[in-house]
Amino acid sequence: MTIRTLLQSRTSKWLLGFCFWTVLGLSFASQFYISSAKAGLDVSWGQAVRYALGDWYVFAVLSIPVIWLARCFRFEGGTRMCSLGVHIIASMVFSLAYMVLRAFVGQWQSQTQAAFGEVFKPLLVKTWHFNLLIYWVIVAVAHAFDYYRKYREREVRALELEKRLAQAKLQALQMQLNPHFLFNTLHSISSLMHQDVEAADKMITRLSDLLRAALAGAETQEVSLRDELKLLQLYLGIEQIRFGPRLTVKMDVAPDTVDAQVPNLILQPLVENAIRHGIEPRSRPGVIELQARRANGSLALVVSDNGAGLNSNGVLKEGIGISNTRARLRELYGPQHRFELVRGNQGGVRVEISIPFHQAQGKGEAQHEKALQ
């Protein structure tokens, strides 16, 4: 049971309240005992404790209706004057009720069986204004706790709304990415259909495997890099049929990165972009390289090609895949990520991604992994 759950329990609240008033009573008992000793009065520690706890336990009992009144009559909006009038009257009743109850307690504690009037009169003279002060302190504390509770509730609701909004944005981006990927793959199959029917038939078979895996993880925002690479291999199997020896893919993945969590379908649009802009427009063979490294608490992913590269202005026009990937990384990791498109060392384009390194094994990932098998 967490501390927060403990504080929300009704029994725990009553217990904490009892402990609060007890500690308060004991602190006043210590003060009474020490001051009596210095004044030369014969007051034992037990007498000091009984007297102080008798005071504060009466306040504790009377604080229950005061807290209820504080919640019902708040100093908000147009009810301030009405609430003020109610609390002024209630404070007087509170002071009188304290003196009556404390007189009965005093009679019970008295060893000489003093009359009620003898106990009540000193209380009327000494405690009337102090009781009023205690009433307003209880009201102020009740209001402070109530404001804090409402503040926390608003904060929790705001965080929940922000989380739902981010989740909705991510789902919308992923829903946009899946049709984009599907249409491009079908276009590849259509192009091959006029050249090699048997190869096109193989592509359709592999596409069904790929779609099954992609749809299995449609509700999962993050998967392990191992599962992401399996899905990428399915996609590359389709493109390998289309391009044959013109397409070479090299993977340099550090073993300590395969369990890292990455956004679902983060690599496929980057590789697809490299094929479309780097390999497809040229007749000569092309190479796509994928690297994964762990450094300083981050996962670094690099996808590069040796194709035509950036234009003369050093700018690459971003399609749906790249812009979608950029938006997803921004929603998932905020300022903790880095996404850059730069000119490659040997021509082509180099996409560099850096995201926080973390590992997890959730239900959604387990389902996605099962679909890839």
pLDDT tens digits along 119-136:
777 777 788 888 899 899
Domains and CATH numbers, the chain: 3-159 (no CATH), 195-372 (3.30.565.10)
| pTM higher than 0.85 | no
Residue 339 CA, chain-centre distance (Å), reads: 24
pLDDT in tens, 303-355: 998 877 766 665 666 666 788 788 888 888 888 999 998 887 777 889 999 99
273 within 8 A of 321, measured Cβ to Cβ: yes
pLDDT in the model for residue 250: 92
CA distance 203 to 199: 6
The SS3 call for residue 167 is helix
In this structure, are residues 346 and 306 in contact, taking their beta carbons and an 8 Å threshold? Answer: yes
Q: What local confidence, expressed as pLDDT, does residue 364 receive?
A: 43
Low-confidence ranges of the chain (pLDDT < 70): 1-9, 110-114, 161-181, 184, 214-219, 310-320, 360-373
Residue 29 is predicted with a pLDDT of: 83
pLDDT of res. 217: 61
For 340, residues 6+ apart whose C-beta sits below 8 A from its C-beta are 351, 352
Length of the chain: 373
pLDDT at res. 255: 93
Label residues 95-106 b or e (16+ Cβ within 10 Å = b).
bebbbebbbebb
Identify the pLDDT of residue 363.
44
Residue 288, helix vs strand vs coil: strand
Which pLDDT belongs to residue 316?
61
Q: Which of 311, 298, 307, 288 lies closest to 354, judged by CA? A: 298
pLDDT recorded at residue 251? 93
End-to-end CA distance of the chain: 39
